[in-house]
Amino acid sequence: MGFLIIVVFSFLTSGFLLYALPDEAAMAGLKKELQGVGWDFQNSGYCSWVGVTCNPFDLSVEALELPRRGLRGNISIIAELKSIKRLDLSGNLFHGAVPLFFGSLPGLEFLDLSMNKFEGFIPSSLGDFGSLKSLNLSNNLLVGGIPNKLKNLEGLQELQISGNSLNGSIPEWVGGLSNLRVFSAHENHLFGEIPESLGSVSQLQLLNLHSNQLEGVIPESIFFSGKLEVLVLTQNRLTGTIPDSVGKCKGLSSLRIGNNRLIGSVPSSIGNISSLTYFEANNNHLSGEIPSEFSLCFNLTLLNLASNGLTGVVPAELGNLKNLQEFIVSDNSLHGEVPISLLRCKNLTKLDLSNNRFNGSLSENICITSRLQFLLLGQNSISGKIPSQIGNCVRLLELQLSENYLTGEIPSEIGKIKNLQIALNLSFNHLRGLLPVELGKLDKLVSLDLSNNELSGTIPSEFKGMLSLIEVNFSNNQLFGPIPLFSPFQKNPSSSFWGNKGLCGDPLSSRCTDFYNDEYENAQHKVSYKMILAVIGSGLAVFVTVSVVVVLFVIKERQEMKSKAKAVEEIPSSPPVNIVGRVFVDSLKQAVDFDSVIKATVKDLNKLSDGTFSAAYKAIMPSGLLILVKKLKSVDRTVVHHQNKMIRELERLGNLNHPNVMRSIGYVIYEDVALLLHQNMANGTLAHLLHESPEDEHEPDWPRRLSIAIGVAEGLAFLHQVAIIHLDISSGNIFLDDHYNPLLGEIEISRLLDPSKGTASISAVAGSFGYIPPEYAYTMQVTAPGNVYSFGVVLLEMLTSKLPVDEVFGEGLDLVKYVHGASGRGETPEQIMDSKLSTVSFAWRKQMLAALKVAMLCTDTAPSKRPKMKKVVEMLLEVKQGDWAFWLKSKRRMTHDVL
């Protein structure tokens, strides 16, 4: 044995002595060029560097895989890695022209430069990489057409050029790439027709051309091969009919052709596509009836035919579609009774029949064992009463029954639909009787519209239980008496109460003068207390709305119960089995002990903070090392059930490299608990710095705050660059290291709950109270502009030293509204900004004023008016350099009149 080792060892060393490593010079050059790549401390041969794979025989570099690391620099030296087969530089910050590599790299098979900032044309010389199988240039800033020389890439299997600004048409020669399996060119400015020749690409499985300006017809030929699985042509200018040949494509699972100009009827051959899962053809000019053959598509999950000219009835056979989750046929001319057969689809979550001519009454069985979340039946001819069984629809998020012929009373059972949150709209019917007090139990409801009915009596004071309410409409009924003092009521326009018999009080101009006066006066004594509750309520509205939606809470509750049970026992009687864990940082591997990590998180004593998505604990390792452990509270169920996926995601995040993004140093997963390990942050959180540290403990230090703001902005701009939208930006999630360098935390949750990754039709949206942009309540979508808003709130916090939500702002106001309203109240910037900072020097004051303008832009109510994060970084850097004069001028029309 010993002998063998010596032989192998001497063979290796002599190998090294005889031949120098072939790519030594090129890799040394690259290491110099790519700062922050993480090769700095790796002095051993390049074959052991992270992201590098070598040929085991001659030790030449075969693969370089460095995705999502925040890299930039000149990579033309890669042309010297003659043996390279795989090159993945996706999700970095490379810019300038696509590197040419000048026809070198004869063996390159996989090239992924997606999600960078490469600009200019696609170089023709890419056509010289004869062995290329996969080319991904998507999500860059490329312009011009698809170069003809790419037709030489005969072995190409995957071509992705989506998300650029490419123009011109799709060349006919694409049909000659006979090995092509994936072709995606969506979100460009391509025009012309879809070439008929694509039909001869016999291996084509995925064709995605959505959001271009393509014209002409959907070529019949593309369905001939029968291999196509995904076809996405949404949002173009396609005309003609849906070809009958579509039925030949037995493997087609996703067909999305909405937002075009298609005519004719949906061919009945659709029933031959046994694997069809998504069919989306909304916003076209389709006519004829809904083919009953859809019922043969056993796996059909989503059927969207909204906004067409469809006629006839909904075929009863569709009730056989056991997997159907969304049935959307709004804005057509369908008739017949409300298709109760669909209620047999046990998995149906969304039924949208709005704006058709459905008649008949609502079935008492409407929600037997139903998963319905959206019941949208407005603008039809439905008559009869609303059955009391509507209360069985316990999962409903939105109920729209407006503009029908409904009669009778509003059933009090609606109050049982505790999840109802997006809207309850019963307007434009013939409903009569009193308003059921039970509606007051709908504490998540955001929008209530009962207008244009024949409802009578008073507005019950119990309605104040609707803590989330933002929009109400009681107009055109027979209501009378005082409008209860409840901030959402008084904040709605008076027109929401017009046209009644005798409503009085705010927001109507008519005062309550009769015997109600006593009650009214009485109520006014309690006003300040109630107003505060209401303010919190209306703020909570958004919070509750957004955070409760779907995925999160089931797991959360279970986990909390579990952790409570554990906390009582202090330490689990037996350690959990099946612990999976990893420490990414080599130097810490010995020091971290997974059992100690788990034990630390079951003791409340160790809890440092409690966020929306995670609680932070301190954990002292047997080695003496102090680490920060974050216990995720609510993990997407699918993620827990796909532990491997979660682990992959965590490891990928562990590779994210930016000085202002907090990286975890490892993780521990057991049962459905996920713990993320972080290095201890010497200076706690920004929230702590701003609001909790004793006044005299630190000097007023505006420059520190400004550089923290710049750091946070840079971290966030980086995340947006690599397509990560943060879910929970707040000063409590910004950590400060021993040099007060800020690190943006809670990145993991943004990935693990990535709403765009889910198949659910609505996204899980959340955030911290006070930081949530107003539009989230309606859109239920986390967006980059939403992040900009939350950042603006953090910046205001730093400028004012005030909390984002505080009673001191007065009724209905949070920090944003308080600051934006300052000029209206005749206040000067000094009265808003923290005077302990702004009075220190003229220079500080000038910087703070300029930073205040940035914060105002970021917190604009209109998402489209907010600057991009990258722009925010630029502006703040200019603030720091005292070089803001030019953008103050250029942005004047956008800034608010406060200053």
Q: Which is nearer to ligand NAG, 90 or 197 (CB)?
A: 90
Q: Work out which of 15, 103, 130, 144 binds ligand NAG, going by CB under 6 A.
A: 144
Q: Work out which of 30, 46, 90, 238 binds ligand NAG, going by CB under 6 A.
A: 90
Of residues 725, 869, 842, the one with CA closest to residue 788: 869
Q: Quick one: tokens of 222?
A: 């593309």
Q: Work out which of 89, 150, 182, 343 binds ligand NAG, going by CB under 6 A.
A: 182
Residue with tokens 């729209």: 400
- 577-605 exposure pattern, b = at least 16 Cβ within 10 A, e = fewer: eebebbbbeeebeeebebebbbbbbbeee
Contact between 244 and ligand NAG (CB under 6 A)?
A: yes
Q: Work out which of 359, 478, 606, 680 binds ligand NAG, going by CB under 6 A.
A: 359
Pair 700, 837: CB distance under 8 Å: yes
Helix or strand holding residue 111 (H, E): strand 110-112
Q: Work out which of 269, 301, 307, 657 binds ligand NAG, going by CB under 6 A.
A: 269
Are β-strands 86-88 and 110-112 bridged in parallel, bridged antiparallel, or unpaired? Answer: parallel
Contact between 352 and ligand NAG (CB under 6 A)?
A: no
- CB hemisphere CA count around 458 (13 angstroms): 10
Of residues 478, 453, 454, 479, the one with CA closest to residue 463: 479
Q: Which is nearer to ligand NAG, 237 or 836 (CB)?
A: 237
Please identify which of the residues 112, 331, 728, 860 carries the catalytic annotation.
Answer: 728
Q: What is the 3-state secondary structure (H, E, C) of 475-509?
A: CCCEEEEECCCCHHHHHCCHHHHCCCCEEECCCCC
Q: Work out which of 92, 116, 236, 427 binds ligand NAG, going by CB under 6 A.
A: 427
Contact between 112 and ligand NAG (CB under 6 A)?
A: yes
Contact between 857 and ligand NAG (CB under 6 A)?
A: no
Q: Work out which of 55, 287, 323, 741 binds ligand NAG, going by CB under 6 A.
A: 323
Question: Closest distance between ligand NAG and the C-beta of residue 826, in Å?
Answer: 35
Question: Closest distance between ligand NAG and the C-beta of residue 200, in Å?
Answer: 19
Contact between 545 and ligand NAG (CB under 6 A)?
A: no
The stretch among 244-252, 660-668, 691-699, 860-868 that binds ligand NAG (CB under 6 A) is 244-252
Task: State the number of binding residues for ligand NAG (CB under 6 A).
Answer: 44
Pair 375, 348: CB distance under 8 Å: no
The stretch among 423-431, 475-483, 623-631, 657-665 that binds ligand NAG (CB under 6 A) is 423-431
Q: Which is nearer to ligand NAG, 205 or 838 (CB)?
A: 205
Q: Work out which of 116, 134, 254, 304 binds ligand NAG, going by CB under 6 A.
A: 134
Question: Closest distance between ligand NAG and the C-beta of residue 461, in Å?
Answer: 22
Please state the φ and ψ torsions of residue 697, each to the nearest 5 degrees: -75, -30
Question: Closest distance between ligand NAG and the C-beta of residue 539, in Å?
Answer: 20
Told to judge if 728 belongs to the known catalytic residues of this protein, a careful annotator would answer yes
Contact between 98 and ligand NAG (CB under 6 A)?
A: no
Question: Closest distance between ligand NAG and the C-beta of residue 61, in Å?
Answer: 17
Contact between 652 and ligand NAG (CB under 6 A)?
A: no
Question: Closest distance between ligand NAG and the C-beta of residue 553, in Å?
Answer: 16
Contact between 360 and ligand NAG (CB under 6 A)?
A: yes
Q: Work out which of 136, 380, 477, 660 binds ligand NAG, going by CB under 6 A.
A: 136
Contact between 640 and ligand NAG (CB under 6 A)?
A: no
Contacts of 24 (CB under 8 A, 6+ apart): 46
Question: Closest distance between ligand NAG and the C-beta of residue 228, in Å?
Answer: 14
> Counting every residue, how long is the chain?
899
d(CA 605, CA 620): 13
Q: What is the DSSP string of 582-636?
A: EE--GGGTTT--HHHHHHHTT-GGGEEEE-SSEEEEEEE-TTS-EEEEEEES---
Contact between 213 and ligand NAG (CB under 6 A)?
A: no
Question: Closest distance between ligand NAG and the C-beta of residue 336, in Å?
Answer: 6
Q: Which is nearer to ligand NAG, 96 or 411 (CB)?
A: 96
Question: Closest distance between ligand NAG and the C-beta of residue 447, in Å?
Answer: 5
Contact between 517 and ligand NAG (CB under 6 A)?
A: no
Contact between 379 and ligand NAG (CB under 6 A)?
A: yes
Contact between 846 and ligand NAG (CB under 6 A)?
A: no
Contact letters (x/-) for ligand NAG, 441-470, by CB under 6 A? ------x-x---------------------
Are β-strands 350-352 and 335-337 bridged in parallel, bridged antiparallel, or unpaired? Answer: unpaired
Q: What is the DSSP string of 424-485?
A: EE--SS--EEEPPGGGGG-TT--EEE--SSEEEE---GGGGG-TT--EEE--SSEEEEEPP-
The stretch among 148-156, 197-205, 303-311, 419-427 that binds ligand NAG (CB under 6 A) is 419-427
Q: Quick one: tokens of 65?
A: 């895989």
Question: Closest distance between ligand NAG and the C-beta of residue 17, in Å?
Answer: 30
Q: Work out which of 63, 71, 77, 858 binds ligand NAG, going by CB under 6 A.
A: 77
Q: Which is nearer to ligand NAG, 402 or 468 (CB)?
A: 402
The stretch among 38-46, 72-80, 515-523, 654-662 that binds ligand NAG (CB under 6 A) is 72-80
Contact between 476 and ligand NAG (CB under 6 A)?
A: no
Kindly calculate the radius of gyration of the chain based on its CA atoms and give it in whole angstroms.
Answer: 31
Q: Which is nearer to ligand NAG, 403 or 728 (CB)?
A: 403
d(CA 659, CA 742): 8
Q: Quick one: tokens of 472?
A: 């109400």
The CA-based angle 823-826-827, given to 5 degrees, is 80
Are β-strands 398-400 and 383-385 bridged in parallel, bridged antiparallel, or unpaired? Answer: unpaired
Q: Which is nearer to ligand NAG, 68 or 678 (CB)?
A: 68
Pair 411, 439: CB distance under 8 Å: no
Contact between 225 and ligand NAG (CB under 6 A)?
A: no
Pair 545, 775: CB distance under 8 Å: no
**Is 785 exposed, middle or buried (CB count within 10 Å of its CB: 0-12, 13-18, 19+)?**
buried
The stretch among 271-279, 513-521, 587-595, 736-744 that binds ligand NAG (CB under 6 A) is 271-279
d(CA 621, CA 633): 23
Question: Closest distance between ligand NAG and the C-beta of residue 88, in Å?
Answer: 8
Contact between 403 and ligand NAG (CB under 6 A)?
A: yes
Q: Which is nearer to ligand NAG, 280 or 449 (CB)?
A: 449
Q: Which is nearer to ligand NAG, 135 or 734 (CB)?
A: 135
- Three-state DSSP at 218 gives coil
Pair 184, 208: CB distance under 8 Å: yes
Contact between 248 and ligand NAG (CB under 6 A)?
A: yes
d(CA 738, CA 495): 56
Question: What is residue 892's DSSP assignment?
Answer: T
- 452's torsion region: left (phi>0), alpha (psi -120 to 50) or beta? left
Pair 530, 508: CB distance under 8 Å: no
d(CA 567, CA 751): 29
Q: Work out which of 95, 237, 261, 346 binds ligand NAG, going by CB under 6 A.
A: 346
Q: Which is nearer to ligand NAG, 74 or 831 (CB)?
A: 74
Catalytic residue annotation = 728
Can you give the binding site for ligand NAG, defined by CB under 6 A? 74, 76-77, 90, 96, 112, 114-115, 134, 136, 143-144, 158, 160, 167-168, 182, 244, 247-248, 269, 272, 274-275, 299, 322-323, 335, 346-347, 359-360, 378-379, 402-403, 423, 425, 427-428, 447, 449, 471, 473
